[in-house]
Structure 1
Amino acid sequence: MEMATRVTLISSPSLNGYKRSPISLPFFLPFHQRKRSSRTLTVVAMADVPLSTVLVTGAGGRTGQIAYKKLKERTDQFVARGLVRTPESKEKIGGADDVFVADIRDAESIIPAIQGIDALIILTSAVPKMKPGFDPSKGGRPEFYFEEGAYPEQVDWIGQKNQIDAAKAAGVKQIVLVGSMGGTDLNHPLNSLGNGNILVWKRKAEQYLADSGIPYTIIRAGGLQDKEGGLRELLVGKDDELLQTETRTISRADVAEACIQALQIEEAKFKALDLASKPEGVGTPTKDFKGLFSQVSACF
């Protein structure tokens, strides 16, 4: 765990009700501001603040990229790491030294990325591909397939199990796992894509995490949208109850933010929840994530 140093400015001499303003070093007060100020500013050093090292796996994916970027922007709280499958994906997200290249299906290959981290955000997932030749003008539905070796059983079950095992062996303190709503229905259309039973294997990995003993948050996201985050009221539920409403979707940015908030909020631990949002402009954009996570009971 790395450390960050902060200072606090105390406006004096009226110490009763003084204002604190945490800032990062170095701090320099411009001379012209000092001359105009009738108060004395005292710089008080605070204790070093521990930073949490967080690994995002699937950092080359559309949601993973957002989560990794958000962590990188919060240098006063986190040391970010990313894990991607190919060197091309590493370059796509900036090619920094904190991005590791490994195959989650190979348990040994992911160990270097996980060693020394405090928390893990799992955003890896099998991705179905559309079979070529589909012509929407002719009606019908497209057909999908999974590449050899990249079926949900191998990625969403074995790959996620490997990550959980490695994290437990390394003493990781918390895991946030992103899954999908729909897992209560074996006949859900997602299971039929490429005959992959993707929700079945995702639920199997979720149960494995819940049984691991590691503090966890499982976020079963609704339909993912490539829209700006922070603009909608988020909704939580259990057992796919949100699928019976009109609020079945959520932006990838909001999912990424929920993952990071879950690392900082005690009420998010040992919980599995469905997550969706109201349409933009309906309701109040969610800012209170503690209150959001508190709406769900602590169980799988």
Structure 2
Amino acid sequence: MNHPDTVPGGVLVIGATGSVGRLVVAAAARHGLAVRALARDVGRAGRLLPGTEIVHGDLEDPETLARAVHGVGAVVFTHGAHNAGAYERVDYGGVANVLRALDGRALRIALMTSINVTRDDNGAYQDLLDWKRRSERLVRASGHPYTIVRPGWFDAAGPGDRRLVLAQGDRRSGAVDRAQVAEVLVRSLLTATAAGKTFELFAEAGPAPRDWAGLFADVLADVSGAVDAAQDSGTLPLAREPESLRADLDRLRAS
């Protein structure tokens, strides 16, 4: 079945009060999914997301996440740190802590990272993108069915750019609308052909997709057991990665 009617238990959105996260909440509800939003500030989240179930939790505190993940059938990650000193703790650590809170229970994952995560010429953004790539490696090692979406530049797509391009190899650039990213993240949970795949996401002139199963089917699947995506370059060798990351990978593979 390529388009189930729902995700049993509903969807937990991480980063739900952010610009993409709020659109993910709306898209999931539009598709009839039960939505739960993780928030440190429950009152603020309730004002931004009226009618949505809000659960308190802090991505930097694993003990606060068990209730958030309890019973859900999918997790969508759209979070990101707001300052350079927190990329390891939030962009990477948040994924690590949620996976730990799942305690081996299987569910569906959609992770938003960014284009250029495999490049080593990102200047001031290098540390951020390296930690985002490391979060991808955690998801691949976790054994959960997943889709990893690497969006292009936000706020630069034209009004007629509705055709979605799912590229691989992290070799090109382009723009995409935040609402398109949200729709792809949610659709990936509902479409079997999206599982086990990583791709860059761009929008070009043309009509919006109608055959989602076919769109995802054209993307190469990641190699089972590999920590990097299909067609990724060999930058950021695992042997040179931090000891903490390699320990996290070993822990996930053993769970």
TM-score (norm 1): 0.67
For 2:86, which of 124, 147, 151 is the aligned residue? 151
| Alignment correspondent of 1:41 | none
Distance 1:185 1:199, change over 3 A: same
Name the SS of the counterpart of 1:89 in structure 2: helix
- 1:1-300 alignment runs, 5 A limit: 51-75=8-32, 78-96=33-51, 98-128=53-83, 146=84, 151-167=86-102, 169=103, 171-189=105-123, 191=125, 197-225=127-155, 232-243=162-173, 248-278=174-204, 282-299=205-222, 300=229
Give the distance between the partners of 1:110 and 1:49, measured in 2 at CA.
Answer: 23
Give the distance between the partners of 2:159 and 2:76, measured in 1 at CA.
Answer: 18
Give the distance between the partners of 1:230 and 1:89, measured in 2 at CA.
Answer: 34
| Letter of the 1:106 counterpart | D
Give the distance between the partners of 2:160 and 2:101, measured in 1 at CA.
Answer: 33
Give the distance between the partners of 2:7 and 2:43, measured in 1 at CA.
Answer: 33
Map Cα deviations across residues 75-122 of structure 1 (whole Å, 9 max, x no partner). 3xx111111232353133235461112110111111111000001101
Shift of 1:236: 0.8
- Larger-gyration structure (1/2): 1
Shift of 1:73: 2.9
Give the distance between the partners of 1:69 and 1:227, measured in 2 at CA.
Answer: 21
| Letter of the 1:179 counterpart | T
Q: Percent identity?
A: 28
Map Cα deviations across residues 218-249 of structure 1 (whole Å, 9 max, x no partner). 00111122879996100011121222xxxx11
| Alignment correspondent of 1:19 | none
Structure 1 gaps, min length 5: 1-47, 129-145
Is residue 220–residue 272 contact of structure 1 (8 Å, CA) maintained in 2? yes
Name the SS of the counterpart of 1:120 in structure 2: strand
Count residues with an aligned counterpart: 219
Map Cα deviations across residues 188-232 of structure 1 (whole Å, 9 max, x no partner). 14525xxxx011001111011101111110001111228799961
Is residue 95–residue 138 contact of structure 2 (8 Å, CA) maintained in 1? no
Q: CA RMSD in A?
A: 2.4
Greater fraction helix: 2
Larger RCO, structures 1/2 (Cα 8 Å, 6+ apart): 2
Greater fraction strand: 1
Give the distance between the partners of 2:49 and 2:193, measured in 1 at CA.
Answer: 34
Give the distance between the partners of 2:6 and 2:209, measured in 1 at CA.
Answer: 27
Is residue 105–residue 162 contact of structure 1 (8 Å, CA) maintained in 2? yes
| Alignment correspondent of 1:10 | none
Structure 2 gaps, min length 5: 223-228, 230-255
| Alignment correspondent of 2:226 | none
Is residue 114–residue 170 contact of structure 1 (8 Å, CA) maintained in 2? no
Distance 1:87 1:173, change over 3 A: closer
TM-score (norm 2): 0.78
